[in-house]
Amino acid sequence: MSVAIPLGLLQAALPKIAQPQVIAVGIAYFAVIIAISLWASRRTKTASDFFVAGHGIGLIALTVASVSTSVSGFAFIGGPGLIYAVGLGAMFIVLPASVTNVMGAWVLAKRMRLLGEARGLMTVPDAIGARYRSRSAQGLSGVAILVGIVGYMATNALAMGVVVNAIFGVGLGWGIWLGMSVTLAYSVAGGILAGIYNDVFQGTLMAVASVLVFLFILNVGGGLGEISRTILATDPKFLAPWGKLTPLAVLSFFFVFAMGSLGQPQGVHKYYMLRDPLQLKWYPLLKTLGLVLVLLLYFSVGVGVKAFVTSGRMAALSAPDQATPSLLLSVTPLLLAALVFSGVAAATMSAVNSFINIGASVVTHDLPVAFGRRLKNELAWGRAATVVIAIVAALIAQHSGTMVAFLGIFGWGLFASTLVPALAVGLNWEGATRVGALASIATGLIVTLSLETASYFKVFTFPSGVTASAVALVLSLLSFFAVSWITRRTAAAAIDPDVRMIMEM
């Protein structure tokens, strides 16, 4: 869900809240991040430390970090705005979270973590390369990830700029570079280790902010029943199961966000990092509960603001994305508003750090491996790539205008359509072949880019609100199964014995 589409943030010109208490909370937040980063930088000595934290993260830290990476500014700004605009149908973006974490654990976590144990793998394309004994599959999946990351990074960089500007009042351009500099500093110095422990802090902050806002809204609104009654009196369709969307549109959301979660590199990459594979036992339960806490704000703000506007407690919004900012500034205490805005900054920085790290690993590890060469000092090259990727993303965020929103749109869909068949199905089905994997990755890349471009420029859209991402994922799966079936004679011979053993466990 971290598609996160901080698109809400991009459309919402956040009101300036630069007041002494808010700035103090913001400065305290950045101080904690710098302290964690300094500590982590002293513990980062190898490429394995830099990219997968030396396979040494404990269960609780990994869980909170994973929750933090899974959500982004979208959960705090764009999501509540979407509920405010279309009603309960927008919940179908987050409802799949009830099954996705445990699905990821069964389908991917065990096998990827064991592949890390047996072969010291560090990246998602590493797993694809090992599964199909194919450098080209590893390289092509790396390219797909890199394309998706450009969009994500630029979108999140801009979102970060919007939030930093709202808190400190420094202007959007300076906001982008200030936010990116802090994220870059800890990403370069401490790699994913700094990222993970900053994510723990940021995830905790998000959960606390979310729960407080949820309780505050229930208290002010007189409970969920009273809030519902207020809405039902004037706009009953808002609380219909699909809201103002069509059943097909919400089912399309449910499908893409459920299946697509298995292809999000920022989530599945973390499976490598767990210190002890046996700790996976409690990972899905803890992560799901963490997500439920963080998403309380998503639901309560969307529904609560609708009721408050209906009853006249709040003025009508100028745009749906103003739901969270307007609520925070007109109804909640200022310190709670500051906490939530820091939570939004935390969400975007956490996403940026994760994508910087994954992008750097593709550039310095997967692409060289695909061309049959390995860099001698992956740690140094990883740090250099981190700086370049961050600067490119910030420049795109600053100069690409409305295109940046488009770049962010296809991120989730692109990862889903290119990685779900080859990775998630491939690690569980011995009938999958190298050619099938290559076909599905290529299909995902081409179809997602074509359909999302056509959809963005309104050249073509699917009827009944069906998303282009859902169609791309279906086509990618179909090409994967069809080509694997056609080339099935090569399937059994293309799996190394250790990979086969792990697949059969």
Partner 1 sequence: MVLGAARERAGVGRLAIPFAFVIVTLTVGFCLALGLPANEGSDSVLWLGLPLRAAIVVYGIGLMPVVVLPVAYALTFESQTLSSEDVERVRQLGRLRIDTADAERKLTAGDMADSA
Q: Which residues lie near partner 1 (CB under 8 A)?
A: 88, 91, 94-95, 98-99, 101-103, 105-108, 110, 114, 117-120, 223-225, 227-229, 232-233, 236-237, 239-242, 247, 251, 277-278, 280-282, 284-285, 288-289, 292, 299, 424-425, 428-429, 498, 501-502, 504-505
Determine contact, residues 361/123, Cβ cutoff 8 Å.
yes
Quote the CA–CA distance of 17 and 167 in Å, as a whole number: 6
Quick one: tokens of 91? Answer: 């919940």
Taking the complex as a whole, the smallest distance from the CB of residue 413 to partner 1 amounts, in Å, to: 21
The continuous run of DSSP H or E covering 107 comes out as: none
Quote the CA–CA distance of 181 and 393 in Å, as a whole number: 12
Quote the CA–CA distance of 52 and 43 in Å, as a whole number: 13
Quote the CA–CA distance of 225 and 53 in Å, as a whole number: 46
* CB of 227 or CB of 309, closer to partner 1: 227
3-state secondary structure (DSSP) of residue 495? coil
Taking the complex as a whole, the smallest distance from the CB of residue 113 to partner 1 amounts, in Å, to: 9
Query: Could you identify the residue written with the tokens 């086969």?
Result: 500
Taking the complex as a whole, the smallest distance from the CB of residue 235 to partner 1 amounts, in Å, to: 10
Taking the complex as a whole, the smallest distance from the CB of residue 161 to partner 1 amounts, in Å, to: 33
Determine contact, residues 154/1, Cβ cutoff 8 Å.
no
Q: What φ, ψ does residue 57 adopt, rounded to 5°?
A: -95, 140
Determine contact, residues 302/82, Cβ cutoff 8 Å.
yes
* CB of 178 or CB of 291, closer to partner 1: 291
Quote the CA–CA distance of 187 and 450 in Å, as a whole number: 33
* CB of 83 or CB of 358, closer to partner 1: 83
* CB of 15 or CB of 222, closer to partner 1: 222
Taking the complex as a whole, the smallest distance from the CB of residue 355 to partner 1 amounts, in Å, to: 26
Taking the complex as a whole, the smallest distance from the CB of residue 117 to partner 1 amounts, in Å, to: 5
Radius of gyration for the chain, computed over Cα atoms and rounded to the nearest angstrom: 22
Taking the complex as a whole, the smallest distance from the CB of residue 318 to partner 1 amounts, in Å, to: 27
Quote the CA–CA distance of 18 and 169 in Å, as a whole number: 6
* CB of 127 or CB of 163, closer to partner 1: 127
Quote the CA–CA distance of 446 and 57 in Å, as a whole number: 36
Taking the complex as a whole, the smallest distance from the CB of residue 419 to partner 1 amounts, in Å, to: 15
Query: Could you identify the residue written with the tokens 């290559």?
Result: 438
3-state helix, strand, coil in the chain (%, to 5): 80, 0, 15
Quick one: tokens of 236? Answer: 């009953």
* CB of 15 or CB of 236, closer to partner 1: 236
* CB of 277 or CB of 368, closer to partner 1: 277
Determine contact, residues 348/73, Cβ cutoff 8 Å.
yes
- What is the 8-class DSSP label of residue 270? G
3-state secondary structure (DSSP) of residue 14? coil
* CB of 280 or CB of 437, closer to partner 1: 280
Determine contact, residues 123/326, Cβ cutoff 8 Å.
no
Quote the CA–CA distance of 204 and 282 in Å, as a whole number: 18
Taking the complex as a whole, the smallest distance from the CB of residue 160 to partner 1 amounts, in Å, to: 30
Taking the complex as a whole, the smallest distance from the CB of residue 369 to partner 1 amounts, in Å, to: 16
62 to 73, 180, 197, 269, 280: CA distances (angstroms): 20, 23, 9, 11, 10
* CB of 43 or CB of 135, closer to partner 1: 135
* CB of 129 or CB of 175, closer to partner 1: 129
Quote the CA–CA distance of 478 and 476 in Å, as a whole number: 5
Quote the CA–CA distance of 296 and 75 in Å, as a whole number: 9
Quick one: tokens of 278? Answer: 């046996």
Taking the complex as a whole, the smallest distance from the CB of residue 118 to partner 1 amounts, in Å, to: 4
* CB of 278 or CB of 454, closer to partner 1: 278
Taking the complex as a whole, the smallest distance from the CB of residue 362 to partner 1 amounts, in Å, to: 24
Taking the complex as a whole, the smallest distance from the CB of residue 396 to partner 1 amounts, in Å, to: 36
* CB of 73 or CB of 243, closer to partner 1: 243
Quick one: tokens of 307? Answer: 């009721």
First-residue to last-residue Cα distance in the chain:
29
* CB of 153 or CB of 424, closer to partner 1: 424
